[in-house]
Structure 1
Amino acid sequence: MSIALVTGANRGLGLETARQLVAAGFDVYTAARDGGKAARAAEELGARPLTLDVTDDDSVAAAAALVEREHGHLDVLVNNAAVRSELKPAADVGAAEALAVFDTNVIGVIRVMHAFLPLLKQSGRGVVVNVGSGTGSFGRVHDPARVESRLVEIPYTASKAALAMLTVQYAKAHPGLRINVVDPGRTATGMNSLPGVQPVEAGAAPIVRAARFTPEDPTGGFFDAAGASPW
């Protein structure tokens, strides 16, 4: 049975992604910074709880050590954990709130990748899905026909653009893995600031599709529900 780990799996897209992976036959770790919430999610889904705070080096290292002890490898990593600051005019955004967003959405991914890359390589078919956003796509924010072009939001959008570049760099550095970014679309999770949201089941579907990529599938790409998406 393939082993998968989903960060921020206690609610929203993370919880639904874990649910769909369990249904697809994966042995899933529901990772969350609050151990109690991770345990409740795991009990609900028939998964394994894992305490993992992506903003804490020791927490991430301890989580990786536990997975190594229990399995010795990891087949799928879904970097879903993310935060969004209060929506306000760009001129009112300060450094402290920007740092908090980047610490989770960008540096947090680096922490997790650093700790889990050895286990993904042990898989022989390791897959990483970074949960991105259309608001981090330069192609979309410059397209007046797209709703993303009408949103001005710092620092969340910048963090998702940075995540896209991280995805490309990791994919280039580790060609034996499948490492991609997925835009789930405007999903009703409580974090979305764009109109026209879809149910969480629909948002998780392209994430799970990319999580099931094989070595013959693309790496270093940007995908959404329709397939390959503009950067």
Structure 2
Amino acid sequence: MKTALITGANKSIGLETARQLLQNGYYVYLGSRDLHKGQEAAGQLHAAGLTNVEPLQIDVTDSASIAAARQALGQKTPVLDVLINNAGILGSMSQPPLGTSLSTIREVFATNVFGVIEVTQAFIDLLRKSAEPRIVNVTSGLGSLTLHNDPSWKYYPVKGAAYQPSKAALNAYTIMLAYELRDTPFKVNAVDPGYTATDFNHHSGPGTVADAAARVVKAAVLGPDGPTSQFFSDDNAPETGISPW
């Protein structure tokens, strides 16, 4: 049975991603900063008959927490097949480039970029033991620099100094990581789940959590002939599903 770790998985898209991977026959470690919330989320899945899941406490902004999570997971399984870096924060709703504090920008980058890098580095040894390792970095369509410079883009006015640059940086890291792992069985991709109605955006998005999670799962279960180093976004590119960087 293949194994997967999802960060920030106690609610919304992360929890639904866990549900769909369980339905695909995976054993899921449900990463949550708050262990109690992770236990509650796992309990919801157990109640639905999806029992191959257990919580794993991990705060992606805390090095000690990441190290403890790696040690704990290593005691449970010798191999990790899928890592989904889903944990992310928005920061304040208004982020003008000349008015957003450095503390806000640092806070957003700590989760959305540095957390992803540290978690990936911590668990890479378990991933290397998989025959078909997959890394999925959950990004945003707002991370596209190309589209942010296109006045015809529907989200062109949605600018910010913290969240959007953090996702652009995450996309860049995805490219670099995929390149380093290019001659291995790894598939490393960034996935935009779409503008989805969640607590993250005060339920302002038109998309459903189920559809968003399905996009993430699609990249997580790619076969050996699947693509790597891609920015998947049905929202940005409905015809091809591949967003410009």
Match runs of 1:87-106 below 5 Å? 87-88=93-94, 89-106=96-113
Residue type of the partner of 1:30?
Answer: L
> Residues 161 and 208 from structure 1, CA distance in 2 versus in 1: closer, same or farther, beyond 3 angstroms?
same
Corresponding position of 2:242: 228
Aligned to 2:48: none
Q: What residue identity is the alignment partner of 1:58? A: A
> What is the aligned counterpart of 1:118 among 112, 125, 143?
125
Tell me which protein shows more helix as a share of its residues: 1
For structure 1, the 5+ residue unaligned runs are: none
Counterpart pick for 1:191 among 194, 200, 222: 200
Deviation at 1:202, TM superposition (A): 1.1
How many pairs does the alignment contain?
231
What TM-score do you get using the length of structure 2 for normalisation?
0.90
> Residue 194 of structure 1: CA displacement?
9.8
Deviation digits for residues 139-179 of structure 1 (CA, Å, limit 9, x no counterpart) = 22223332221201220000000000000011111122111
Q: Does 1:25 align with 2:25?
A: yes
Give 1:68 shift.
1.5
Shift of 1:22: 0.9
**Greater mean alpha carbon deviation, residues 46-55 or residues 191-200:** 191-200
Moved more, 220-229 or 164-173: 220-229
**Cα deviations across residues 77-128 of structure 1 (Å, max 9, x unaligned)?**
1000001111223322000011100000000001101101111101121100
Cα deviation, residue 216, structure 1 = 1.5
Partner of 1:210: 219
1:200-221 deviation per Cα after TM superposition (whole angstroms, max 9, x unaligned): 1111111000000122211111
Secondary structure in structure 1 of the residue aligned to 2:30? strand
**Contact 1:106–1:159 (8 Å) recurs in 2:** yes
- TM-score, L = length of structure 1: 0.95
Matched ranges for 1:1-231 at <5 A: 1-45=1-45, 46=51, 47-88=53-94, 89-175=96-182, 176=184, 177-192=186-201, 196-225=205-234, 226=238, 227-231=241-245
Asked whether the equivalents of residues 181 and 222 of structure 1 are also in contact (C-alpha less than 8 Å), the reply is yes
Contact 2:198–2:205, Cα closer than 8 Å, also in 1 = no
CA contact (8 A) 1:178 1:214 kept: no
Aligned amino acid, residue 38 of structure 1? G
RMSD: 1.5
Q: Structure 1 vs Structure 2: percent identity of aligned residues?
A: 42
Does the CA contact (< 8 Å) of 2:198 and 2:204 recur in 1?
no
Q: What letter corresponds to residue 33 of structure 2 in structure 1? A: R
State the secondary structure of the residue aligned to 1:186.
coil
